[in-house]
């Protein structure tokens, strides 16, 4: 750290992304990327004329992309705000709606508390129930902005839109931001509540269900007024926040509904198979509607399991946070990757059992 850094950032502890290994043939199940490539239509769109046009700035209104999103959700283009990943959209939300503080679950996306520090917003982390579920009563009459990932991460558990509606109803003077990064893997979106709640902001991303994590594309859906606020921030920060290639890629991805449906269904089917297999091996597995499972092995600690998978070139995510240290988060990869993961897991458990039996003698 230099002596020049603004004093308010001296204590800032940045978000730590999951490892992006270079080179090694790893089975990468640690950052919830989609195991399948982008739609062939996306490849075509970025290969075509857009590369020629990189000399020119991108459209600050990203109309092609905004229209594709608005068309898919049957909303007005004025209700859509696009960003350089939904992380940027969330950052805009902190800037725009953080004045009275933001309340979010204690176990949730690790970026929420980091943003609180970055934007000097009073963050209020509310513990989950013992079973990792969210008690909606903790978010009613909050008197401040509410931010909930639904499905939640890293648990994968979700609330029904009717429960979110109960939060929206009792918090009319503040926005309720629902981060739907994983909603396309089997949960129900809150988009249908938009016509009735002018305090709702739905945040989604192209990173997980639309196979474009590297394209950095996220968006918010809200009332015209709320979307206008977010656009005001965007145009006061980085008007060209989405580049030409990503605008073209995002529009093509949004329009290829058949490919999207096929990929998300495959991930869900693999998740179900993986869940059954882990349960049969004695794991505790939380009920996930996301493209990952949060699971606890029966006869070995979370960190030991993580390390033994790592030794077998399989990367999952583990946090040294007491409440979740027994668990690992396993991204659902391709069918082949999950087969390798399953075989490795069986070996690890067998080995642990033998070692345990050895200890007993
Ligand atoms: C992955 C993720 C995001 C961020 O996604 P971007 O890649 O920035 O679009 C936001 N929220 C949650 C809960 C996530 O898991």
* CATH assignment at residue 101: 3.40.640.10
361 pLDDT above the threshold of 60:
no
Q: Which domain holds residue 263?
A: 19-35+258-352
**13 within some domain:** no
**Rounded mean pLDDT of 136-164?**
98
Residue minimizing CA distance to atom 11 of ligand 1: 181
d(CA 205, ligand 1 centre) in Å: 6
Q: Which of 146, 150, 164, 169 is nearest to 94 (CA)?
A: 146
120, 265: one domain: no
3-state secondary structure string across 294-351: EEECCCCCHHHHHHHHHHCCEECECCCCHHHCCCEEEECCCHHHHHHHHHHHHHHHHH
**227 pLDDT exceeds 80?**
yes
Mutate to test the pocket of ligand 1, among 34, 110, 153 (most ligand atoms within 8 A of CB): 153
Task: Look at residues 255, 270, 302 and tell me which one is the last residue of a structural domain.
Answer: 255
Check whether 360 has a pLDDT greater than 60.
Answer: no
Helices (H), the chain: 40-47, 49-52, 63-73, 86-97, 111-118, 161-169, 224-235, 244-255, 257-280, 302-311, 335-360
pLDDT at 132 over 70: yes
Q: Domain holding 317: CATH number?
A: 3.90.1150.10
- Residue 134 shares a structural domain with residue 275: no
- pLDDT in the model for residue 359: 64
| pLDDT > 70 in the chain, percent | 98
| 216 and 267 part of one domain | no
pLDDT digits (tens, 9 = 90+) for 251-289: 999 999 999 999 999 999 999 999 999 999 999 999 999
Q: Looking at the structure, do residues 238 and 272 belong to the same domain, yes or no? A: no
Q: CB–CB of 151/289 below 8 Å?
A: yes
Tell me how far apart the alpha carbons of residues 327 and 294 are, in angstroms, rounded to a whole number.
Answer: 6
Q: Which of 232, 255, 278 is the last residue of a domain?
A: 255
- pLDDT exceeds 80 at position 290: yes
pLDDT value at residue 19: 78
The last residue of one of the domains, among 255, 288, 303, is 255
Is the pLDDT score of 307 beyond 70? yes
pTM of this prediction?
0.96
What is the tally of structural domains in the chain? 2
Q: What is the pLDDT of residues 78-121, one digit of tens each?
A: 999 999 999 999 999 999 999 999 999 999 999 999 999 999 99
- Percentage with pLDDT > 90 across the chain: 91
Place of tokens 């004329």: 49
Q: Is the CB of 65 under 6 A from ligand 1?
A: no
Ramachandran sector of residue 102 (left: φ over 0; alpha: ψ -120 to 50; beta: rest): beta
Instruction: Report if residue 360 sits inside a domain.
Output: no
Tell me: the pLDDT tens digits for 153-187? 999 999 999 999 999 999 999 999 999 999 999 99
**Residue 208 CA, closest ligand 1 atom number:** 1
Chain centroid to CA 179: how far?
Answer: 7
């Amino acid at each position: 750290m230099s002596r020049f850094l603004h004093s308010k950032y001296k204590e800032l502890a940045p978000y730590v992304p999951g490892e992006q290994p270079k080179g090694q043939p790893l089975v990468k199940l640690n950052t919830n990327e989609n195991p399948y490539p982008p739609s062939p239509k996306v490849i075509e769109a970025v290969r075509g004329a857009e590369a020629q046009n990189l000399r020119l700035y991108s459209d600050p209104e990203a109309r092609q992309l905004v229209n594709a999103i608005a068309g898919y959700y049957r909303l007005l283009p004025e209700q859509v705000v696009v960003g350089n990943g939904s992380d940027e959209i969330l950052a805009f939300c902190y800037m725009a709606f953080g004045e009275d503080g933001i309340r979010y679950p204690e176990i949730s996306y690790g970026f929420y508390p980091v943003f609180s520090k970055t934007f000097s917003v009073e963050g209020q982390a509310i513990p989950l129930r013992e079973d990792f579920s969210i008690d909606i009563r903790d978010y009613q009459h909050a008197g401040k902005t509410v931010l909930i990932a639904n499905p939640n991460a890293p648990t994968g558990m979700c609330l029904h839109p009717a429960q979110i509606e109960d939060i929206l109803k009792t918090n009319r003077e503040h926005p309720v931001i629902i981060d739907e990064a994983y909603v396309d893997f089997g949960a129900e979106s809150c988009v249908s509540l938009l016509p009735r709640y002018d305090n709702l902001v739905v945040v989604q991303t192209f990173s997980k269900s639309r196979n474009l994590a590297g394209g950095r594309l996220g968006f918010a859906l809200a009332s015209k007024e709320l979307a206008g606020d977010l656009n005001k921030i965007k145009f006061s920060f980085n008007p060209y926040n989405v580049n030409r290639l990503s605008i073209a890629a995002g529009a093509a991805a949004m329009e290829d509904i058949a490919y999207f449906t096929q990929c998300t269904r495959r991930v869900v089917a693999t998740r179900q198979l993986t869940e059954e297999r882990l349960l049969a091996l004695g794991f505790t597995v939380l009920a996930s509607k996301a493209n990952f499972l949060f699971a606890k092995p029966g006869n070995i600690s979370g960190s030991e399991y993580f390390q033994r998978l790592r030794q077998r070139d399989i990367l999952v995510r583990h946090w040294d946070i007491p409440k979740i240290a027994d668990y690992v988060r396993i991204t659902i990869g391709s069918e082949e990757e999950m087969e390798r993961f399953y075989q490795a897991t069986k070996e690890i458990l067998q080995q642990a059992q033998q070692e345990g039996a050895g200890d007993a003698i």
